[in-house]
Amino acid sequence: MSVLIVVDDPDDWPLPDDTGLTVVSALSYLADPAYGEDRTARVFNLCGPSHYQSLGYYVSLLADARGQQPCPRPGTIEDLQSPHLVRILTPPLAKLVEQSLAPLAAERFELDVYFGKTPASGYDVVAGQLFAFLQAPLFRASFERGEAGWITRGIRLLGLRDLPEAHRRFALEAGTSHLAGRNRAANGNGQRAFELAILHDPHAEHAPSNAEALRKFAAAAGELGMRPEFITAADFDRLAGFDALFIRDTTFLHHYTYRFARRAQREGLVVIDDPDSILKCNNKVYLAELLAHHNLPIPRTLLIHRGNIDHIAPRLALPCVLKQPDSSFSIGVDKVENENELRTMVNGLLEKSELVVAQEWLPTPFDWRVGILDRRVMFVCQYYMAEDHWQIINHNGSGGRSEGRTVPLAVGEAPEEVLRIALAAADLIGDGFYGVDIKETNTRYCVIEINDNPNVDAGNEDGILKDALYREVMAVFLRRLKRAGLGGAAA
């Protein structure tokens, strides 16, 4: 992967000879088709001003059309034209902004950020997070103090010629350091191994892989010539130094796992789980509508709002199951037995979400779990209900948390219909790593949900394939890395 620095005039960026970077004028980049031949190129657009139909805008737009990776993207240039959109986009950073600016006595503050660095002392953290969030090389963020604290009032993209003279040397050094580092990581000597980040939380109560499974994933990656490294939430700023990201922590939309996935995708990494899969699988309302729309078998289902609570019992009967949209590991999924319990539970859930899923209760001794990656079945298990409980996990048993047993089966032992509808359901989400849960009654099969980030625990899901399961998963990463042309050939 090459790195192109596009500027108004190449004399604006006097590069040392040993960086291996290419500086090109905007007009040359736009007019010379040779610059579009490398579809894996990272194009850092330092032209100014960057607004709709400006020269800088067309640099990012054509880089995107050529299949390259522009920074900033055309969508970022568009978004930042509107202060209203800026305020909508930046809430994930609101807490950090407030903490960083709270000591200031002024009512307004501006922060110049150059490749994640700032010449303003004491604001390195917020500068780095803004850079990671926006993926824009040069910009000025404006803040103002409101009634509820500091807010981001606007963000203006800068070109090299917009920088104050006193900042020019600082910006060039920050940019050269950042881009030269990326170039070495991207090109190497053609022999380096792909770098795989495995994101996990060593303190998680409900993790999708136990410690032994994580060790086996890393070992399999090493056997295939990749270099695995375990990372945690604290390693967000290091993400761009990897070629691929494997998320082995429970994913949520408003959570660092989603931010990691989103940034990894922006940086051009191969990522599982990708942000679209996290977004889709984490919302039970979306899944219920998606599966129904495509005529896949599901339990009788109602999307509940405050106006149709009275329809639940007549249509689904009691007991029935209520699901908050972002439930996982049996948390946020409740069985209600009577009308009083129903109303109390529904009203509580509607305080958190405008829509809730209600489904008929289908008592079964186990759920089928079909693990699917790259549109292929990887494993099949039966997840049995916890003892004296209607769910796989009982969080409130007399002896504390308890879990039903997992029985792995060969793929050929599963009913063909289970495999068929599992593959069809996962295909609606994408080609990532999914766990499709299916209930089997005397008369039918029903898809219960599609999970991104499915469990793979040593001693459970790997019961049939053993270590080959971990190699199969890592082989998908390797194939995608080679297909994308990221890094050198795996050693």
Task: Read off the pLDDT of residues 258-268 as tens digits, 9 standing for 90 and up.
Answer: 999 999 998 89
CATH (one of 3.90.70.10, 3.40.50.20, 3.90.226.30, 3.30.428.10) for 195-273+476-484? 3.40.50.20
How sure is the predictor about 190, in pLDDT bands with cuts at 50, 70 and 90?
Answer: very low
Choose the weakest-confidence range: 89-98, 363-372, 407-416. 89-98
Choose the weakest-confidence range: 93-97, 118-122, 211-215. 93-97
Residue 79 contacts by C-beta under 8 Å, 6 or more apart in sequence? 85, 86, 89
DSSP annotation of 271 reads E
What distance in Å separates the CA atoms of residue 234 and residue 223, rounded to the nearest whole number?
A: 27
Of 394 and 136, the one with more pLDDT: 136
Choose the weakest-confidence range: 15-24, 231-240, 470-479. 15-24
Average pLDDT over all residues of the chain: 86
In CATH, which superfamily holds the domain spanning 300-360? Answer: ATP-grasp fold, A domain (3.30.1490.20)
- The ranges assigned to domains in the chain are 3-187, 195-273+476-484, 300-360, 366-467
366-467 CATH fold: D-amino Acid Aminotransferase; Chain A, domain 1 (3.30.470)
271 near 265, Cβ under 8 Å?
Answer: yes
pLDDT digits (tens, 9 = 90+) for 44-80: 999 976 555 678 888 888 888 888 888 888 878 877 8
Could you tell me where the DSSP H helices lie in 73-206?
A: 74-79, 83-89, 94-101, 124-134, 165-187
What distance in Å separates the CA atoms of residue 55 and residue 159, rounded to the nearest whole number?
A: 11
- pTM for the model: 0.61
**Token pair belonging to 117:** 């660095």
Burial (Cβ within 10 Å: 0-12, 13-18, ≥19) of residue 260: buried
Q: What's the average model confidence in pLDDT over 157-181? A: 86
pLDDT digits (tens, 9 = 90+) for 299-338: 999 988 888 989 999 999 999 999 877 755 556 688 898 8
- What is the reported pLDDT for 261? 94
Cα R_g (the chain), whole angstroms: 25
Tell me which H or E stretch contains 313: helix 312-316
Residue with tokens 């053993």: 466
